[in-house]
Structure 1
Amino acid sequence: MNASDVKLSDFTFSGAEESTIEDLRSLSDDDKHQLLMAGVDVEQDKRAGSFLHLNHSGVHCKSNHKGVEILDIKKALDKYDGLPEYFWKLIDPDKDEFTRQAHDNLHGGYFVRTEKGAKIEEPVQSCLFLKGEQVGQNVHNVVIVEEDSELHIITGCAVSSETEAAAHLGISEFFVKKGGKLTFTMIHNWGENVVVRPRTRGIVEEGGVFQSNYVLMKAVGTLQSYPSIDLVGEGARARFNSVIVAPEGSHVNSGSAINLMAPNTRGEIISRTLTTGGTIVAPGRITASAVPARGHLECKGLILGGGRIHAIPELDASREGVELSHEAAVGKIAQEEIEYLQARGLDEDEATSTIVRGFLNVEMDGLPEALKQAIDEQINHLDSSDAM
């Protein structure tokens, strides 16, 4: 599916309201598996809280830690008089047809806010789930990390196994206050004809830290994502780490941007992309308008058996004294690497899997062990015969 083929009129954005789910363990085994592959543990072990949005409704919301508040965004808007300081403050509702759709017909989304100084050691998990043919979903998420607090959110986005075509439009706004730290891990488990259009912006104040981990290992029809983070306080830092695999038929346009807008800020974008027949466009941009500031962008792609990778690294400095660098590479597994591992006792398939696993480097904090194993299995099943 090409990005130009998307027609929102093909999807239904009304009439898919769902009932409350008190216990996520009551979901079907199939749905639980789909959620697990998006990083969501229905047992909620070692989780500070959970949120589930199904189709057009928030169906589950629970906080297990007094230092973090979790609400459906609609309830948060009612409770906090429309969230005037945060709601639609970083993203223009008229940016494109997808933001307009999300603005005009809000289904829900999550609101997560820490208490000042709270150190939330266990991650909050959230899931945006689609179940039904041609369902369109509009969500708006707001995350506020108060001063000197720390939070890790694992967001899983998925469709049920029987859903062939659906659309997900997601608005996310992040606010990291002075000395705060947010680690945001997003795992996508979509389908071959699913349209995905997230729109994400964030702001980081003095001494704050924002780290984003993004994993896409399954097929998707068309995905377009370009989160952007502004470092507006002295000493703020941001890092994007993405791992993307595109099977045949998938069209993925996914990148990120960091804007160094205050002294002593640092930004890093690390992208690992692998195509087994799909198309990947991987833009990355670091801008610097204050000194001293340092940024590095690294975009590496691997082609196994066809497909296309278009890496677009971009650096933009407007002040003397900034330090920005980038490196980009796209290619195939080198024959000498295969032969080196074969000489040490691995067969060709094992050697290829080892190289791919090291290339993708999907070690990220807070993932369920079953999901880590599933990712390893996906890597092992990549068609090594196409690697040569």
Structure 2
Amino acid sequence: MPELEKNASIEVDLSDYTFDGAGSPELPDLSQVSEADRQQLRMAGVDVDEADRSGTFLQFDQSRVHCRTSNPDVEILGIEAALERYQGLPDYYWKALDPDKDDFTRQTAKEVHGGYFIRTKKGAVIPHPVQSCLYIKGKDVAQAVHNVVVVEEDSEVHIITGCATAHGVQSALHLGISEFYVKKNGRLTFTMVHNWGEQVAVRPRTAVHVEENGVFVSNYILLKPVRTVQSYPAVYLNGPGGLARFNSVIVAPEGSHVDTGNKIILNAPNTRGEIISKTITTGGTIIARGFIGGNAVPARGHLECKGLILGQGVIHAIPELVGSVPGVELSHEAAVGKIAREEIEYLMARGLDEEEATSTIVRGFLNVDIMGLPRELKESIEKTIRESEKDMF
């Protein structure tokens, strides 16, 4: 398969980007954000009015510009402030990931440009989501951030992260190190919305450790063009009764190369993992990876990858299941193809024209109901899907 091998990797040269000098002043109030930037932030799922939010972290380029919490049960700091306050965060900082993993982790370990530290109090259920945004305003700017999230025992929080570039910024680089720790009986829902520019390179590196009866739910949404994304977050269910679930909705137009997937390692009895990926190519390349490894019993995992090809483009689904002990239950379902003609004809028989029928099927395929998103975020994403339809067809 020479064509797929050719498409399997896009090189990113760190020397093409600026790693210093892209600073921005602090914003005490998000009302000071320009209308153009507010629009881009909304498209990345950020509520610029901070209504029904338990806190906000906002970074422009290489500077933290806004950091506040409205709930005493959740702590939000810039990563530099957290490292200073907690003597280097010895239990969490670079404990889930190896700084020597690749050029991107090495660069971030050498020169971090902010990022956030979010921690819940033990036993606290945070009623409204915490939101964060890593935003790039400058051309050819490199943003290398390190994020640490700690969900203490018996606590629960939903974090909505928007990553975006300002209108008119096409070329930039985002390096994101994220380490998540879900303690006993904790629950973390992490929703990420990407809204990058057409020549932006994105290299996140993420690891999650989950303790006994902990729950980690990840929602990932990418609907806009991007030059290249390479992402493969890994969750380690290390305590009995742990649960991990990944939901992804990805659209790749022409010129976009998205190499993404998820890994779940079932390291303890009575753990469960689920990966659900829905992808559409309208001319771009998508490599949809999924891996579930079962190292304990009883343990169950399911991987589901479905892709639609609209016009030209490539979807390469790579589901992997590895069981290392007798009795582990792992399954997968993968399908890549086009919209079935009979589905279109069924809707046309009920009064829709062909374009309306196709749009209805695509919107149904990209349904985000299972993600459990706040109403205003769900409405924003559905609006983005409607606005993207003209690019899909």
Tell whether the structures are fold-level matches, with TM greater than 0.5.
yes
CA RMSD of aligned residues (A): 1.2
Runs of 4+ in 1 over 4 A off after TM superposition: none
Aligned-pair distance for 1:376?
Answer: 3.4
Match of 1:107 among 110, 113, 117: 113
What is the alpha-carbon distance in structure 2 between the residues aligned to residue 237 and residue 330 of structure 1? 27
What is the alpha-carbon distance in structure 1 between the residues aligned to residue 337 and residue 179 of structure 2? 35
Corresponding residue of 1:205: 211
Corresponding residue of 1:150: 156
TM-score (norm 1): 0.97
The answer for unaligned runs of 5 or more in structure 1 is none
Aligned-pair distance for 1:350?
Answer: 1.1
113-122 or 2-11, which deviates more? 2-11
TM-score (norm 2): 0.96
Alignment of 1:173-188 (within 5 A): 173-188=179-194
Q: Does 1:168 align with 2:150?
A: no
Give the % identical residues: 63
Corresponding residue of 2:313: 307
Corresponding residue of 2:380: 371
Q: Does 1:41 align with 2:47?
A: yes
Alignment of 1:348-387 (within 5 A): 348-363=354-369, 364=371, 365-366=373-374, 367-368=376-377, 371-384=380-393
347-356 or 315-324, which deviates more? 347-356
Secondary structure of 1:5's aligned partner: coil
Match of 1:10 among 16, 23, 32: 16
Corresponding residue of 2:3: none
The answer for unaligned runs of 5 or more in structure 2 is 1-6
Note closer, same or farther for the CA distance 1:383–1:194 as it changes in structure 2 (3 Å cut): closer
Secondary structure of 1:95's aligned partner: coil
Corresponding residue of 1:259: 265
* Superimposed CA distance per residue, residues 6-62 of structure 1 (whole angstroms, 9 cap, x where no aligned partner): 111000001111110111121111100100000001100100000001111111001
Q: Which amino acid aligns with 1:84?
A: P
Aligned length: 384
What is the alpha-carbon distance in structure 1 between the residues aligned to residue 157 and residue 214 of structure 2? 12
Secondary structure of 1:287's aligned partner: strand
* Superimposed CA distance per residue, residues 345-375 of structure 1 (whole angstroms, 9 cap, x where no aligned partner): 1111111111111111123312536513422
Corresponding residue of 1:244: 250
Match of 1:344 among 336, 346, 350: 350
What is the alpha-carbon distance in structure 2 between the residues aligned to residue 355 and residue 378 of structure 1? 15
Aligned-pair distance for 1:257?
Answer: 0.3
Aligned-pair distance for 1:2?
Answer: 8.3
Q: Which amino acid aligns with 2:265?
A: N
What is the alpha-carbon distance in structure 2 between the residues aligned to residue 16 and residue 52 of structure 1? 15
Secondary structure of 1:246's aligned partner: strand
Conserved 8 A contact 1:145-1:182: yes
Conserved 8 A contact 2:253-2:392: no
Q: Which amino acid aligns with 2:97?
A: I
Q: Which amino acid aligns with 2:95?
A: K
What is the alpha-carbon distance in structure 2 between the residues aligned to residue 330 and residue 310 of structure 1? 8
What is the alpha-carbon distance in structure 1 between the residues aligned to residue 168 and residue 301 of structure 2? 43
What is the alpha-carbon distance in structure 1 between the residues aligned to residue 101 and residue 378 of structure 2? 39
